[in-house]
Amino acid sequence: MRTGKPATEPQLLRGSLIVLKRKCGKPNCACASRGPHETPALSYSLKGRTRILTLVPEDVTAVRAAVDRYRRAVAQLDRQALRGLVSLERRLASARGAARRRRG
């Protein structure tokens, strides 16, 4: 029995929130004449293969928030790594300049 809230909300999730659309095949179902059934899902890659986890509507908000937190964390880590590269480049350029002046 679901209570409407996930047992433990994930802090970070890698992937994309998608909507699966399909027809069930029943001739009298609304999806035969109108639009297909829609199911929220999380699509992610693991060991080079795309995986899909279907979600219940109650989980969508928590999953969306966890995916957003993951993307923000990756962006922050990328910015930190870029600052580290720039710092290293400057230090190496300065050391090379000092070595040239000594030889010079």
- Extents of the domains making up the chain: 16-103
Across the chain, which distance is largest between two alpha carbons, in Å?
88
| pLDDT band with cut points at 50, 70 and 90 for residue 6 | low
In contact, 58 and 5? CB cutoff 8 Å: yes
103: phi then psi, degrees, rounded to nearest 5: -75, -30
More confident: 8 or 70: 70
Spatial separation of the C-alpha atoms in residues 50 and 54, rounded to whole Å:
13
Spatial separation of the C-alpha atoms in residues 15 and 40, rounded to whole Å:
13
In contact, 46 and 53? CB cutoff 8 Å: no
Encoding tokens for residue 33?
Answer: 């004449």
* Chain segment 33-92, per-residue pLDDT in tens: 889 999 999 999 999 999 999 999 999 999 999 999 999 999 999 999 999 999 999 999
Is the entire prediction scored with pTM above 0.85? no
